[in-house]
Every structure is written in C-alpha cells, then in structure tokens.
Structure 1
Amino acid sequence: MRQRVITAVVALALFLPVIYFDFGGVSVALLGAAMAVVGVYELFRMKGLAMLSFEGVLSALGAVLLVLPEGWFLFLPEGTDRFMLFYLVVMLLLGISVISKNTYTIDEAAFPVIVSLYVGVGFQNFVSARVESLIILCFGLFVVWATDIGAYMFGRHYGQRKLWPDISPNKTIEGAAGGILSAVVVAFFYLLVFPGNDYFGHGTFVMLLLTIIFSVVGQFGDLVESAIKRHYGVKDSGNILPGHGGILDRFDSLLFVFPIMHLLGVF
C-alpha cells in the first residue's frame, strides 16, 4: 500500500500539471501518444511478441497516428484524415504475408491492428476531451476514479455475490453497484459547479443518466483488460507504475469511457 500511495502521488504530481496547463496545446497530445506506445508495448509483451519488430513498430506507429490531432499532419492533402494514414499501416501489415511467403498470416496481422485501434482510439478521445475543455476531461476522469474507488470500498465492505468470477474473481455485484452510485454522486456535485447546459452537450439531468452509462462502460473496460490478462496468464499489464502495474492497468476504463463520451455527444 505504501508503494501504491507513493507511486500515485508522484504520478499525479507529473500528470496533473500536464493536463491542467496543456503547454501550447502540445503536452497532452504527446502524453497521450506516449501512453499509447506504452500500451502497445504492454499488449505485445503479454502476447510474448517483440515490440522492436516490424509489426510492433507499425502497431505503435498506427496508435500514434490515431492519437495525435489531425492538425499536426500538415503534409496530408486537403480532405485526407488520419484514418487513411492508419490504413496504410494496415496495408503494410497485410503485405508482410506476401514478403514472408504466407508464413505471416492475416490472423497474425489482426493482432497489431486491434492493438493500435484499442489504445489509439482510446487515447485519441482522451486528448480530444482535453482539446474541447479541461472541464470535460476532468469530468471523465472523476467519473472513472469515483467508480473505481466506490467499487473497491463497497465491494470490500458489502460484496457477497461475484460479478464475473471467470474473469475477475474479486469483483462483486455490490461493488459494481457502489461504483455506479459513487460516480453519480461525484457527477452531481461536479455538475453543480459546472452545469451541464453550460459546459456539456446535454443538460444536467441527462448528464447524470449518462454518468450511469459511463460508469458501467468503465467497469466493462476494466473487465476487458482483466480478460486479456487472464488469457495471456499475466497478473499485470506491465510494471511501469510500481504497485499499480502498467499503463493499461490504470487506463483500461478510460480507454472505453472517453470514446463513449464522444459518441454520446459530450464533446
């Protein structure tokens, strides 16, 4: 616990100034791109693949292309978006099957593509939320953090029925419900300060209803990461954050929540 607290304090001391000031509109984008590359590395590591390989480099490149704002790609012809660049990465990965005389198959090419999309689109929406406003980004962060803390506390004190024992044996239905309740309470007070009609694409009441969806989606994202780790037989996605695991261990919920926030018109 001491190690977890120290890591959390140090990480927040580095993380919060970056997202608060977003120096020149560059720092959050670079942070998102860096975390995406680490996420790609962690997934390749779990699968037992080398990051410093042709497909590993392409997967990391694809994730970065998805994360960085389109305004950064000044060399693109007008009307061309980043997804066309990403598709070039897909074409190159599929092309390995020809170069390798089909010893590298389309099934193997699918893994780096899915990895790029998973972490790339997730962190892209994290960056996009900050571009829209700090208030929106913090709303997403607070909902996810409140869900995590609430689920842990309620599950520890009241948890009886397992939520999904085959995937995550320690999670309980009571904990999940407590996480949703905690997220709604935190969102309610947040929206008192920053009313939905003024700062979000929806009114306050609708935002509270959406908070339930975001909390559920965040917990599902956590379960997805647990399923991936269980499939590969690892406890943590990485060890970059002592006591907490890897980047994906800390951002698995956010990778699901921010795209859904965007999809539902919050930013």
Structure 2
Amino acid sequence: MKQRVITAVVALIIFIPIIIAGGIWTDLAALVLGIVAMSEILVMKKKLLISFESILSFLGVSTLIIPDTWLNMLPDHIDRMFLFYIFVLLLLLLTVFSKNKFTFDDVGVLTLGMIYIGLGFHYFTLARDLSLTTLLYALFIVWVTDSGAYLFGRSFGKHKLAPHISPNKTWEGSILGSLSAIVLCSLFLMVYPINSMSIVPIVVVTALLSIAGQFGDLIESALKRYYDVKDSGKILPGHGGILDRFDSLLLVLPILHLVGII
C-alpha cells in the first residue's frame, strides 16, 4: 500500500502540470504513454521490443496519436489513416518474409492494439485541446467510478460482476461507483460547463461514460487473463502498467467523441 501511494503521488506531481500546460506537453505525454502501452501488449505477446514488428507497431500507434499538425508535411493524398495502413501492410508482408514465424494472428493482435491504444490517446490530446475542463471531466469520471466501485464494493459487495474476468468486482460496487460518478461529475460539469447541455443530458452522458469506463477496465482484465499476466506492465510500482492505469480512459474518451463533446 505504501508503494502504491508513493507511486500515485509522484505520478500526479508529473501528470497534473503536464495536462495543465497542455499543447506540446500533452501531445508528447500522450505519445510516450501510447508507445509504452503498445510495448506492454508486445511483451504480453512475447515479442522483442527491438524487433521489426515492434518498431512497426510503435510507428503505427504513433501515427494514430500525434496531432494533425505533425502530419502537415505529408502529400495531400496521404492522410493519417493511409499512413497507418502502410504500417499494417508492412506487418502483413512480414508474415511472408519471416516464413510465417510472425503470423497473421500476430498482425491482427498488433493492429487491434494500435487502434485501441492509438485512438484512445489521440482523443486524450483532442480533449485537452478543447479545454482543460473537458479532459478533467473524463478523468474525474474514471477516478470517481473506480474509487466508488472499490470502496462500496468492499463494504457492500456480494454479487460478482464478472468472476471469470475480474473476480474482485461486484455489481454493488459497479452500480454505486457509477452513481457516485453521476452525482459528483454532473455537479462538476454544471459548475464548469463545457457546452450548453442541460441537466438531463449531462446526467445521461455521465452515466454512459461511467459504464463505458468500467467496460474499459473489464476489457483490459480480459486481455490480461488471456495472456495469464497479473499486470500489463511494471512501469508504475504497485499499480502495474500504463494499460492498467488508462484502460478505462481509453474507452471513455472515444465515447466522448461519439456523443459530440470532443
């Protein structure tokens, strides 16, 4: 517990000034976080981080994360998605040149990982570009939901939510965690509005995002179960890896885009 607290404090001391500063600092932070998260999937796949497929994966996920202004040097007929597709094609070609030691299944996992991580952190930068309040709203939803689910789950949890994927989570913790987020984060959005939504849409969107965040957590738990690992990585002592800390946010931010907030 002491190690978890120390890591959390140090991480917040670094993270909070970066998101307050915004701009290039947030863009670089998202890029670094995305590359580290991608490396965690590669390690779970037992791929060397200096291998050709790893380098292509890092380039592919970076292509999806970086802001549009970083791609201005590209010819007009080549956009972000086409550039990403080139890296996917190179991974497919590698199945031939490696004589199928690097397989089509490997390409599928790495491509899905690049999309999952890359677009998640891309919307991280877009949220901050829109406003600090928008990004804080997304972060608060994740933090309040997680904290509420943990605290209420320990106190009142009796019915397992997904025992085969995440045995410690309960329906009681999940529901009360979401209710906590709905109350506190809706109040936050009413005090610091990011658009002209009235109270009913605010509550509905907050509830949707809180539920989405919990699904993001369960998706990453399923990934770890499949690869039989306790944590996605070890970069954050006591907390695991980047995917362990940002799994909920990687789903919340695209949903924020889906509902038209970013």
Residue-by-residue CA offset, 1:45-74 (whole Å, 9 max, x unaligned): 112221211111111111111000011112
Match of 1:140 among 112, 122, 138: 138
Aligned Cα root-mean-square deviation (Å): 1.3
Is residue 2:217 matched to residue 1:229? no
Identify the match of residue 255 of structure 2 among 249, 253, 260.
260
Letter in 1 for 2:12: L
Pairing of 1:40-51 with structure 2 (within 5 A): 40-51=38-49
Partner residue, 2:113: 115
User: 2: distance between equivalents of 1:29 and 1:236?
Assistant: 26
Give the corresponding residue for 1:213.
208
- Spell out the pairing of 1:241-260 with structure 2 (5 A cutoff): 241-260=236-255
What does the per-residue CA deviation read over 1:191-249, in whole Å, with 9 as the maximum and x for residues that have no partner?
Answer: 23123xxx236333202111111111100110011111111111111111111111110
Match of 1:167 among 156, 165, 168: 165
CA distance in structure 2 between the aligned counterparts of 1:113 and 1:149, rounded to whole angstroms: 32
2:161 is paired with a residue whose SS is strand
SS class of match (1:163): strand
| Runs of at least 5 residues in structure 1 that lack an aligned partner in the other structure | none
Structure 1 segment 14-163 matched on structure 2, within 5 A: 14-22=14-22, 25-78=23-76, 80-163=78-161
CA-CA distance at 1:108 after TM superposition:
2.1
- Paired letter, 1:100: S
Trace 1:196-207 onto structure 2 (pairs within 5 A): 199-200=194-195, 202-207=197-202
Q: 2-side partners of 1:85 and 1:109: how far apart?
A: 16
Aligned to 1:10: 10
Partner of 2:178: 180
Counterparts of 1:236 and 1:105 in 2: how far apart (Å)?
A: 25
Question: Contact 2:182/2:207 (CA < 8 Å) preserved in 1?
Answer: yes
Which secondary structure state, in structure 2, belongs to the residue aligned with residue 170 of structure 1? strand
SS of 1:78's partner is coil
- How far is 1:15 from its partner? 0.2
Task: Measure, in 1, the Cα distance between the counterparts of 2:199 and 2:73.
Answer: 41
Structure 2 CA distance for aligned equivalents of residues 176 and 254 of structure 1 = 16
Q: Does the aligned pair in 1 maintain the 2:186–2:206 contact within 8 Å? A: no
CA distance in 1, matches of 2:151, 2:72: 48
The alignment partner of 1:59 has SS state of helix
Q: Distance in 1 between matches of 2:21 and 2:98?
A: 47
Structure 1 segments (4+ residues) deviating >4 Å: none
Is the contact between residue 155 and residue 172 of structure 1 (CA under 8 Å) also seen in structure 2? Answer: yes
State percent identity of aligned pairs. 50
Distance 2:70 2:94 in 1: 29
Partner of 1:191: 189
- Cα 1:201–1:112, aligned 2, differ >3 Å: closer, same or farther? farther
The TM-score, its normalising length taken from structure 2, stands at 0.96
Question: Partner of 1:63: helix, strand, or coil?
Answer: helix
The structure-2 alpha-carbon separation of the partners of 1:223 and 1:21, relative to structure 1 and needing over 3 Å to count, comes to: same
Q: How many Å apart are 1:106 and its aligned residue?
A: 2.0
